[in-house]
Structure 1
Amino acid sequence: MSAVYRTPDDRFTGLPDFPFEPHYRELASGLRVHYIDEGPRDGRPVLMMHGEPSWCFLYRKMIPPVAAAGFRVLAPDLIGFGKSDKPTSKGDYTYARHVAWMQEWFEALDLRDVILACQDWGSLVGLRLVAAIPDRFAGVVLSNGGLPEGQDPPAAFAAWRRFSRWSPVFPIGGILQRATKRDLSPAEVAAYDAPFPTRASKAGARIFPSLVPLGPNEAVPDQKRAWAVLETFDKPFTCAFSNGDPITRGGDAAFRERVPGAAKGSHRTLKGGHFIQEDDPDGFVAAILDTARAAEQSQSG
């Protein structure tokens, strides 16, 4: 593996609405994963997984109400993002490697009966975890994401993939703003920029769109194997997509049709753009709590 960048702690001082204590776990590779761990340790875990090019700051409005409801909320930063370590070569990033890194972290914490809340790349990685270790999950809430298996990319995604690869500038905070309906404050935009002060620190963020298996991609066989497991997953599976995301609009249909647990999901349409955690955090939280209640009823029944 190439050089690894670790964002200095002082980049994260004074972030708005982000009072959470950092936690770290070192993987066998030597890479360090950062995660938030809030709420009672004996509460049912709710795993909030972020996407591209954000980090767990995205969930800052959702963590407190879910923790206050008695759940243990875990929000990790994917390798290459947030406070987690960042290999500086794009070649160090593969889809399979990301799944393996997060599965190693997940199993090191010995998480069980988990409710997964995921969006964007949080879905690409999180749903693969569900497929790899389904017995560890009690339910899923999916927003603005999916598990593509080689389909043609939507035009909006193809444009985003080209931009991420070729644009001479890659303003992370500005990208978040463009994919969010509400106006972010300057401090919020700066918080999304905070993990990425150098060009090399953005290697993961730059390469992620090219790793998505839309079109020919080495990950397609793994995706098809994962779908085969999801097609047997009968625990509550809720779709909570937004009404204003051009990239994932309509993406809930496949899950509703193919995942048995979707019959137990309290599906809803959230209001906002791609980064729904910024636009409709309350709606996303409600979907999580409803799904957790359905999981309890399922287990007690």
Structure 2
Amino acid sequence: MTQYTHPKYGTVLRTPDNAFANLPDYPFEPNYMEVDELRLHYVDEGEAVNGTLFLMHGQPSWSYLYRHMIPQFVAAGYRVIAPDLIGFGKSDKPAAGKVYSYQAHVDWIAAFVGKLGITGANAFFQDWGGMIGLRVMEKHPTWIKRMTVANTALSDVKGPMKLMLPNILRLMRFFAGKPTIADLAQKQSYGNWAGYFKHSARIEISKVMQILTTKTLTTAEVAAYDAPFPDSRYHAATRVMPQIVATQLNAAQAAWEHLRQSQVPTLVLFSDKDPFLAGQGIDQQFMALPGASGQPHVEIENASHFLQEDAGVELATRVLAWMAQEASPRQAA
């Protein structure tokens, strides 16, 4: 089955299984859960000897992004859970763009977390994985006991800026026109990013991933990033998400207030060559959280936005050392 009719969302596409055959370094058995009558895929590897670790991806990637990190975490005694957001990877993909609101993504992952019933877990949040996951933490305050934030953000705007920000981003999209992949390669601005995904007749996911990594992807890796999207009909989520980054600002701010009142230990690992977030002070916002005080935050060198590709082994090594250090005085479940 590659297509079916959902009672609420209409046409839903499902990438054929053979599109994912023989992916390099991705031997993980698929797992599926129904959320909101949609099939959500997730990797579930290892035994929770030292705990459970959630790995949350963003747009336009999928759990394949974590393929080099998962074995390290499993070998260290962690159960690793890496879901594919609805609209991405092996998860179902509603064909209508209007389905993909910020709230919908939060609700889908919150339902996933609730059904798993895991508490006291660890998390690695990157890109939209943080924007969604940090809000889910507010809904499920016992879900995460320790988190790493890496090249992610969560809007925290007050006063007049809350009214101005959506208009500012709208103008940036407008003045960018209809950027091509070459325009995005030349300049990774918000306008070019959002404009490319909104207007491009043919979205080239693997080329986007290559633009936002410092390493050179192999031919097989290129194919793996393109695999979830056999044709343009599958791209509704990838098109919409850049357009909704400044929606639900009140909900995002409420999530920030929850974080500021929590003591969840927080490790910040931003990269030095992220064209969107490096040098913007967002890492400092996370470092100001109570649970981030005194933690071994590091800037990951020679890594772009998708730092899991550029420095996956280093990231996993640093996270494992930190989790072991955090757990030693008060061994967690």
* Interval containing the TM-score (normalised by the shorter chain): over 0.9
Is the contact made by 2:19 and 2:227 (CA closer than 8 Å) also made in structure 1?
A: yes
Is the contact made by 1:235 and 1:295 (CA closer than 8 Å) also made in structure 2?
A: no
CA 1:243/1:126 → structure 2, altered by over 3 Å: closer, same or farther? same
Is the contact made by 1:236 and 1:291 (CA closer than 8 Å) also made in structure 2?
A: no
Structure 1 regions of 5+ residues with no counterpart? none
Partner SS for 2:10: coil
Partner SS for 2:261: coil
Is the contact made by 1:268 and 1:287 (CA closer than 8 Å) also made in structure 2?
A: no
Residue among 126, 131, 137 paired with 1:124: 131
Residue in 2 aligned with 1:163? 196
Residue among 322, 326, 329 paired with 1:291: 322
Is the contact made by 1:139 and 1:291 (CA closer than 8 Å) also made in structure 2?
A: no
Moved more, 154-163 or 133-142: 154-163
Cα distance in structure 2, aligned partners of 1:110 and 1:2: 29
Counterparts of 1:135-214 in structure 2, within 5 Å, are 135-149=142-156, 150=162, 156-213=189-246
Code of the aligned partner of 2:208: I
> Cα RMSD over matched residues?
1.7
Deviation at 1:185, TM superposition (A): 0.4
Cα distance in structure 2, aligned partners of 1:287 and 1:207: 33
Residue among 56, 59, 84 paired with 1:52: 59
Residue in 1 aligned with 2:32? 24
Cα distance in structure 2, aligned partners of 1:84 and 1:136: 22
Partner SS for 2:43: strand
Is the contact made by 2:47 and 2:74 (CA closer than 8 Å) also made in structure 1?
A: yes
Is the contact made by 1:88 and 1:200 (CA closer than 8 Å) also made in structure 2?
A: yes
Counterparts of 1:5-16 in structure 2, within 5 Å, are 5-16=13-24
Code of the aligned partner of 1:8: P
Cα distance in structure 2, aligned partners of 1:2 and 1:299: 49
Cα distance in structure 2, aligned partners of 1:298 and 1:172: 44
Q: After superposition, what is the alpha-carbon deviation per residue over 1:60-110, rounded to whole angstroms, capped at 9, x for unaligned?
A: 000000110000000000000000000001000100110110011111111
Code of the aligned partner of 1:276: L
TM-score with structure 2 length normalisation? 0.85
Residue in 2 aligned with 1:276? 307
TM-score with structure 1 length normalisation? 0.93
Partner SS for 2:53: strand
CA 1:298/1:130 → structure 2, altered by over 3 Å: closer, same or farther? farther
Deviation at 1:295, TM superposition (A): 3.6
Residue among 106, 118, 139 paired with 2:113: 106
Residue in 2 aligned with 1:267? 297
Residue in 2 aligned with 1:72? 79
Residue among 31, 37, 41 paired with 2:44: 37
Code of the aligned partner of 1:93: Y
Is the contact made by 1:156 and 1:247 (CA closer than 8 Å) also made in structure 2?
A: yes
Deviation at 1:286, TM superposition (A): 2.4
Moved more, 263-272 or 182-191: 263-272
Cα distance in structure 2, aligned partners of 1:39 and 1:264: 30
Residue in 2 aligned with 1:253? 284
Q: After superposition, what is the alpha-carbon deviation per residue over 1:129-175, rounded to whole angstroms, capped at 9, x for unaligned?
A: 22222222111101111112455669812321111111222101111
Partner SS for 1:34: strand
Count the aligned residue pairs: 295
Q: After superposition, what is the alpha-carbon deviation per residue over 1:228-282, rounded to whole angstroms, capped at 9, x for unaligned?
A: 101012121011000100101132011112x100114321111210100000012
Residue among 68, 74, 88 paired with 1:61: 68
CA 1:55/1:82 → structure 2, altered by over 3 Å: closer, same or farther? same
Moved more, 133-142 or 17-26: 133-142
Cα distance in structure 2, aligned partners of 1:9 and 1:42: 31
Cα distance in structure 2, aligned partners of 1:281 and 1:47: 15
Deviation at 1:42, TM superposition (A): 4.9
Residue in 2 aligned with 1:134? 141
Residue among 212, 217, 225 paired with 2:254: 225
Residue in 1 aligned with 2:91? 84
Deviation at 1:197, TM superposition (A): 0.4
If you compute each CA radius of gyration, which structure gives the higher value, 1 or 2? Answer: 2
CA 1:158/1:297 → structure 2, altered by over 3 Å: closer, same or farther? farther
Percent identity, please.
37
Moved more, 226-235 or 153-162: 153-162
Q: After superposition, what is the alpha-carbon deviation per residue over 1:163-206, rounded to whole angstroms, capped at 9, x for unaligned?
A: 11112221011110111110000110110000000211110011
Partner SS for 1:208: helix
